[in-house]
Structure 1
Amino acid sequence: MAFPENSSRQSLIPSFLYSSSSFTSSKRVVNLTQSMKSTLDSPPPTSTAGRIKRNFVIPAPKESSRRIEMFSPAFYAASTVGGILSCGLTHTAATPLDVLKCNMQIDPAKYKSISSGFGVLLKEQGAKGFFKGWAPTLLGYSAQGACKYGLYEFFKKYYSDIAGPEYASKYKTLIYLAGSASSEFVADIALCPFEAIKVRVQTQPGFARGLVDGLPKIIRAEGASGLYKGIVPLWGRQIPYTMMKFATFENIVEAIYKNVIPTPKEQCSKTLQLGVSFTGGYIAGVFCAFISHPADNLVSFLNNAKGATVGDAVNKLGLWGLCTRGLPLRIFMIGTLTGVQWVIYDAFKVFVGLPTTGGGSPAPAEK
């Protein structure tokens, strides 16, 4: 490319890049420009071509810092592990409260209140009595948590894809309810045998020491079906419970980010997000305790009395007793339990590079 050697023509190189003493004539500028053009036009040596090319290419920034892609098999696997940790650990830690609750439901004349009930347990069974049934609790609720959380994330996305983006956003609460009900239906099948053993170990002194001797004892006496005789009331307790747990949590978390916290969720610290998870979980747990308590009394009654029916439970406990017996303790237990579960679950998601749960509409349908 030739430039006219006109002294009035201004250089194409901005004047601030050089001083007047460096370039005294436009001809020197032309020579420099032609020299640079010749250098760039000539192919680089083969041995250094790759290196020179890399020096001139600016890499694009990464689109995401997440280590796990949303809705991938690894995402659902992480949700499953998070569910195992959240449900297995919390229910096992709450075993003393669960032992007392079950005994208050079965024998209210003996276990009249929380304070006196703890005293009776301590006097008759010692400190180890508070942890009876911890093994079936750990295994049962770990299995339940794996199915509950892992399948919830799957069904939430699955039903959102069926509904489409518009309806998934418009009817998001129905998506939450359908996803949680579907996941809990499967989760209770995994939980039921362990729940049957747990209740008997906790409420029938001398029945068994724990899972190892309790499981074969039930099978010898009632067959394998004896482990599942409480499945229907368990569904009656757990499915409404889980529907309330997930739908209420999702909506409460969304309301907190929309009306209480002025900062968008993505800009909030992880500590604040986990605090929102606990708050939403605790409030959801209180609602869960109310809606599922009658069925919880039924589960305890049927697993404790051989050959008993739902009608027997209603006749003995009465409708008021089914709805209120052991309720204050269960509200405290379930509220705290649910809040901590959501913190553990979301903390694990954050640990593996995933966002916390809630704060928006269900996953959009794939295009």
Structure 2
Amino acid sequence: MAPIKQREKPIHSLFAGATAGAIEAFVTYPTEFVKTRSQFGGKKEPLLSIIKDTVNQKGFTGLYSGCSALIVGNAVKAGVRFVSYDYFKEKLADSEGKVSAPRSLLAGLGAGSMEAIFAVTPSETVKTKLIDDAKRPNPQYRGLIHGTVSIIRAEGITGIYRGLFPVMMRQSANSAVRFTVYTTLKQVVQGNTRSGQPLPSALTFGIGAIAGLVTVYTTMPFDVIKTRMQSLEARAQYRNSFHCAYRIFTEEGFFRFWTGTTPRLTRLVLSGGIIFTVYERIIGVIGGREPPSSSS
């Protein structure tokens, strides 16, 4: 008889996911800062120059401009992601509680759409504008709260929802690819280990890192379009996401869609490892899994 699969309790999944997301955002933020700066329009800046100039002008803390927006957004995002994914995964699981790769892909797409709407788009818009504003001689935003209020006053609530379409595309693809790779590899590894035994943290980190690696290269164009649509000059330069993509392709070339790959790759490889490892550890500590109902 196949072993009974356990599912995560929603409230525990939310707590574990939010905590993992906040920790991951803080640890990896400098790579996010450099990636975002490199994706703005205009002259292409070498990654090392961005780091050097920022540290010289603002100190090391300059690499954390806009960090609070990402930490808050990432915590909410990760919480929504895990709860949504667990929900969709449970609905799509077979009678033994297993989820095939195609069904895991669908669960990931659903989770990505939910996090894009409820967490990622507002936090990414504010973060991007704070980073863009920070490179000005006289920044106009004094932090997360002031920046958010200023944007809403100037542009309305839609001001923090700019780039929603590319964000939904990116997050859906992110979650679909990351969860599918992670779940598939985890099931393969667990199939070769004793039933019921949790995987070692190092192995969980490695599987999560591989999932992050695959995710980067398949979703990078959405990330670049998202950054451009959320920049301070977006309203004057682009009519919509498709116009933005067209201008990047015709004016800057196909490979411009992969600008910022190195720092994003660094972040998502670390991110995949950190988030899944912290999530699994917290779930284990708080007893956040319960057996599925017998009625299914």
Partners in 2 of 1:276 and 1:151 — Cα distance? 24
2:39 is the counterpart of 1:105: yes
Aligned position for 2:282 = 348
User: How far apart are residue 120 of structure 1 and its match?
Assistant: 1.4
User: How far apart are residue 332 of structure 1 and its match?
Assistant: 1.6
2:157 is the counterpart of 1:234: no
Partners in 2 of 1:111 and 1:335 — Cα distance? 23
Give the partner amino acid of 1:203.
Answer: D
- Evaluate the alpha carbon distance shift between residue 344 and residue 288 of structure 1 in structure 2; reply closer, same or farther with a 3 A threshold: same
Q: Structure 1 runs of 4+ off > 4 angstroms?
A: 69-72
User: How far apart are residue 296 of structure 1 and its match?
Assistant: 0.5
Q: Out of 132, 135, 138, which is 1:203 matched to? A: 132
Q: Deviations over 1:122-153 (max 9, x none)?
A: 12222221111111111111111111001211
RMSD over equivalenced CA pairs, Å: 2.4
Cα pair 1:91 1:141 within 8 Å, conserved: yes
- Evaluate the alpha carbon distance shift between residue 321 and residue 189 of structure 1 in structure 2; reply closer, same or farther with a 3 A threshold: same
- After superposition, residues 182-331 of structure 1 pair within 5 angstroms as 182-191=110-119, 192-205=121-134, 206-258=139-191, 261=192, 263-266=193-196, 268=197, 270=198, 272-304=199-231, 305-307=233-235, 308=238, 309-310=240-241, 311-316=243-248, 318-331=252-265
Partners in 2 of 1:98 and 1:71 — Cα distance? 32
User: How far apart are residue 345 of structure 1 and its match?
Assistant: 0.4
Q: Which has the larger radius of gyration?
A: 1
User: Structure with the greater relative contact order (CA < 8 A, sep ≥ 6): 1 or 2?
Assistant: 2
Give the partner amino acid of 2:38.
Answer: M
- Evaluate the alpha carbon distance shift between residue 127 and residue 231 of structure 1 in structure 2; reply closer, same or farther with a 3 A threshold: same
Partners in 2 of 1:333 and 1:172 — Cα distance? 28
- Evaluate the alpha carbon distance shift between residue 243 and residue 365 of structure 1 in structure 2; reply closer, same or farther with a 3 A threshold: farther
- After superposition, residues 12-51 of structure 1 pair within 5 angstroms as none
- Evaluate the alpha carbon distance shift between residue 351 and residue 126 of structure 1 in structure 2; reply closer, same or farther with a 3 A threshold: same
- Evaluate the alpha carbon distance shift between residue 189 and residue 132 of structure 1 in structure 2; reply closer, same or farther with a 3 A threshold: same
Normalised to the residue count of structure 1, the TM-score between the two structures is 0.70
Secondary structure of 2:230 counterpart? helix
- Evaluate the alpha carbon distance shift between residue 365 and residue 179 of structure 1 in structure 2; reply closer, same or farther with a 3 A threshold: farther
Aligned position for 2:81 = 148
Give the partner amino acid of 1:314.
Answer: Y
- Structure 1 stretches of 5 or more lacking a match? 1-68, 356-362
Give the partner amino acid of 2:150.
Answer: K
Partners in 1 of 2:86 and 2:217 — Cα distance? 25
Q: Deviations over 1:89-113 (max 9, x none)?
A: 2012222111111011115735213
Partners in 2 of 1:365 and 1:313 — Cα distance? 49
Cα pair 1:302 1:313 within 8 Å, conserved: no
Q: Deviations over 1:230-266 (max 9, x none)?
A: 11110111110110110100111122233xx5x3142
Aligned position for 1:177 = 105
- Evaluate the alpha carbon distance shift between residue 100 and residue 224 of structure 1 in structure 2; reply closer, same or farther with a 3 A threshold: same
Cα pair 2:73 2:123 within 8 Å, conserved: yes
Aligned position for 2:69 = 136
User: How far apart are residue 207 of structure 1 and its match?
Assistant: 3.5
Give the partner amino acid of 1:209.
Answer: R
- Structure 2 stretches of 5 or more lacking a match? none
Partners in 1 of 2:62 and 2:246 — Cα distance? 29
User: How far apart are residue 204 of structure 1 and its match?
Assistant: 2.1
- After superposition, residues 49-128 of structure 1 pair within 5 angstroms as 70-71=6-7, 75-106=9-40, 109=43, 111-113=45-47, 115-128=48-61
Aligned position for 1:19 = none
Partners in 1 of 2:262 and 2:32 — Cα distance? 13
Secondary structure of 1:250 counterpart? helix
Give the partner amino acid of 2:115.
Answer: A
Cα pair 1:111 1:120 within 8 Å, conserved: no
Identity of aligned residues (%): 19
Cα pair 2:22 2:74 within 8 Å, conserved: yes
Partners in 2 of 1:352 and 1:190 — Cα distance? 26
User: How far apart are residue 365 of structure 1 and its match?
Assistant: 8.0
Partners in 2 of 1:108 and 1:328 — Cα distance? 19
Cα pair 1:285 1:338 within 8 Å, conserved: yes
Q: Deviations over 1:134-192 (max 9, x none)?
A: 111111111111110012111111222xxx527x75x6112211222112211111221
